[in-house]
Structure 1
Amino acid sequence: MRRVLAGAAAVLAAVCGAVGPARAVGGGPEADLAYHGAASLADGRVKVRFTPGNFGPSAVPDATVRLRWSRALTDAQTLPAGCARSEPRAVLCRVGALAADAVGERIGLRVRLLGAPSEVLLQIDTVWSGGTVDRNRQNDRQRVLVLATGDDYYF
């Protein structure tokens, strides 16, 4: 377990760089990040795919998003490049740079939850935005209740 956590910490440092709050205090450039996509749950497996966007007015040099589930994840996870486990119920994924008024690369991952719950609450939010200030936090914070139907639930 210690090796897993140490490895996750190394990947986390690479994904996030010098992690700071998305809500920078003061006068950094302003950007408006948003995440839209879908999630599904079946047999304890959650599939999430979303596209980040920036409504501007400034570009974002780099960003990191956190995906947090209301249930713990199993210890063994296969995550895509740019994503790292950050706690028992959360994963961080590098969004990368986003030009103003542009969408980024689609991010997709699958995680396995402990047990086979009938539902899970997924929360997505920006944890780092490269020094830009996002005064509209409504669209970069998503919450979606995903039922174990195998159906897509959109956010």
Structure 2
Amino acid sequence: MKEVVAVRRGAVRSVVVAGLLVLGGAAGVQTQALAQGPDEGDVADVAYHGRVSLERGQLRVWLVPQNDGPAALPDATVRVRLSAELADRQELGQGCVRAGSREVVCETGPLPMHGYGRHIGLLLALKEPVPEVVVRIDTWWNGGASDRNLSNNQHAVLALDTGDPYAF
């Protein structure tokens, strides 16, 4: 069964902008995506809840972004990093891009104050089957808002090659 990421059309924009900022390619350039971010000084509490499972070289990641406020976010980017290398070819849903040999980033869509973003589902093929993989999930970009509670948006999950789901 193929899982897809459900995000709005044109969703890759903020992921690409965030990637350029991290790589230094857009230093000093303010784009429309950044201009629409929260006001300087806004505080948002982004959190992720979901599960991961590993079976025969296939990693499934399902997560729901949440914002406990007090400010709404027009968009954010979640990063999924693995302890194992991804296969060269990946079929990623709209709004997700590969950011390295072991990581994928996806846009969350709007995160209303005290609300949820879009459900994100990934089916990632590993370069070779492994008995276990550590999956690290965190916020890569949140539009410039301050997040004073990082404990609920930074997760490390050990998934064994059993097919069992591991919750975070």
TM-score tier by shorter-chain length is 0.7 to 0.9
Number of matched pairs: 140
Matches within 5 A, 1:41-120: 41-120=54-133
- CA shift for structure 1 position 90: 0.1
- CA shift for structure 1 position 12: 9.9
Separation in 2 of the partners of 1:13 and 1:87? Answer: 16
- Residue number in structure 2 paired with 1:18: 17
User: Structure 1, unaligned stretches of length 5 or more?
Assistant: 1-10, 22-26
Separation in 2 of the partners of 1:55 and 1:154? Answer: 20
Distance 1:12-1:68 versus aligned 2 partners, 3 A rule: farther
Asked if structure 2 preserves the Cα contact closer than 8 Å seen for 1:12 and 1:86, the reply is no
Task: Tell me the alpha carbon deviations over residues 21-77 of structure 1, each in whole angstroms, 9 at most, x when there is no partner.
Answer: 8xxxxx520000000001100000001101000000110121000000000001000
Matches within 5 A, 1:123-142: 123-142=136-155
Q: Percent identity?
A: 44
Separation in 2 of the partners of 1:126 and 1:145? Answer: 19
Separation in 1 of the partners of 2:14 and 2:93? Answer: 11
Separation in 1 of the partners of 2:117 and 2:109? Answer: 8
Asked if structure 1 preserves the Cα contact closer than 8 Å seen for 2:11 and 2:94, the reply is no
Corresponding letter in the other structure for 1:14: R
Asked if structure 2 preserves the Cα contact closer than 8 Å seen for 1:12 and 1:84, the reply is no
Asked if structure 2 preserves the Cα contact closer than 8 Å seen for 1:15 and 1:83, the reply is no
Corresponding letter in the other structure for 1:146: A
Structure 1 residue 36 and structure 2 residue 49: aligned?
Answer: yes
State the Cα RMSD in Å. Answer: 1.8
TM-score normalised to the size of structure 1? 0.85
Task: Tell me the alpha carbon deviations over residues 93-148 of structure 1, each in whole angstroms, 9 at most, x when there is no partner.
Answer: 00011111001111001001111100000000001101211011110101100000
Separation in 1 of the partners of 2:127 and 2:11? Answer: 22
Asked if structure 2 preserves the Cα contact closer than 8 Å seen for 1:63 and 1:126, the reply is yes
TM-score normalised to the size of structure 2? 0.79
Q: Secondary structure at the match of 1:144?
A: strand
Asked if structure 2 preserves the Cα contact closer than 8 Å seen for 1:40 and 1:47, the reply is yes
